[in-house]
């Protein structure tokens, strides 16, 4: 698994970049990334991370900002906010996620690039997102190393240490039930590291304005 793929898997940057580039330039981007750890939503909760990868430093926030009924079930609106690196201000991706047993499906997705109105992803692109998500989830299950107490900028946490070997290089991550929505406290790989900076409460959406429908690009 190369560096770009791992960064996408870890942080959600690929989704934000793909959506923003597509909105601005009419191009398709990478597939939908996934975050290690079980999705455990509670409205208003979130986690803020700092990631370092070679010469790139970025900040990411995952926050659950609302919920609504979807086909008789409950859907949770989760936002991925990205700053730093080459980002022109804050990028926000908001996705409606529905839990079905052990699987989490994405029903809607809205993205907003700094200085532009929010855009809602059309059905055809959502199909590509779902395909990418399914591929990411079909990999080898991580190995459980054990229970460890670690300290990060957000504090000290008792964590389950896990190791993913589904790529060419292993990646270690530490998860805690006291962190939502994914539980990730720390993650390390050969070329990157990510740590929890802050546990968030009282979170609301950073999307501003009424979402517009994206138009499919013509090739």
Strand 171-175 relative to strand 46-53, pairing = unpaired
If phi > 0 it is left, if psi is from -120 to 50 it is alpha, else beta; for residue 44 that is left
Is 103 a domain residue?
A: yes
Give this prediction's pTM: 0.78
Is 176 a domain residue?
A: no
Is 161 a domain residue?
A: no
CA–CA separation, 24 and 1 (whole Å): 28
Please, are residues 109 and 119 in contact by the beta-carbon 8 Å criterion?
no
Average pLDDT over residues 4-18: 42
The total domain count for the chain is 1
- pLDDT tens-digit profile of 143-174? 999 999 999 999 999 999 999 887 667 889 99
Is 151 a domain residue?
A: no
Mean pLDDT of the chain: 79
Full residue range of the structural domain in which residue 15 is found = 3-138+201-207
188/127: higher pLDDT: 188
Please, are residues 68 and 181 in contact by the beta-carbon 8 Å criterion?
no
Is 159 a domain residue?
A: no
CA–CA separation, 120 and 209 (whole Å): 12
Q: Among residues 159, 170, 164, which one has the least CA distance to residue 142?
A: 164
- pLDDT tens-digit profile of 54-87? 778 899 999 999 999 998 889 999 999 999 877 7
Is 182 a domain residue?
A: no
Is 170 a domain residue?
A: no
pLDDT interval class at 104 (50, 70, 90): confident
Please, are residues 48 and 60 in contact by the beta-carbon 8 Å criterion?
yes
Is 172 a domain residue?
A: no
């Amino acid at each position: 698994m190369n560096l770009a793929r791992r960064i996408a898997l870890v942080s959600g940057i690929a989704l934000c970049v793909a959506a923003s580039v597509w909105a601005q330039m009419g191009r398709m981007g990478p597939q939908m990334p996934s975050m290690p750890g079980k999705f455990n939503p509670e409205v208003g909760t979130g986690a803020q991370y700092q990631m370092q990868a070679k010469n790139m430093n970025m900040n990411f926030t995952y926050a659950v900002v609302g919920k609504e009924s979807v086909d008789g079930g409950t859907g949770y609106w989760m936002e991925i906010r990205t700053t730093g690196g080459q980002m022109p201000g804050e990028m926000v991706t908001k996705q409606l996620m529905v839990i079905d047993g052990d699987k989490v499906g994405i029903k809607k997705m809205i993205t907003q690039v700094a200085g532009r109105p929010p855009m809602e992803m059309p059905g055809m692109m959502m199909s590509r997102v779902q395909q990418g998500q399914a591929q990411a989830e079909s990999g080898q299950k991580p190995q459980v190393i054990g229970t460890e107490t670690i300290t990060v900028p957000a504090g000290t946490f008792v964590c389950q240490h896990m190791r993913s070997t589904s790529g060419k290089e292993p990646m270690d991550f530490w998860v805690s039930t006291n962190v939502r929505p994914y539980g990730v406290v720390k993650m390390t790989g050969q070329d990157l590291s990510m740590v929890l900076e802050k546990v968030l409460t009282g979170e609301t959406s950073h999307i501003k304005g009424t979402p517009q429908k994206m138009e499919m690009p013509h090739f």
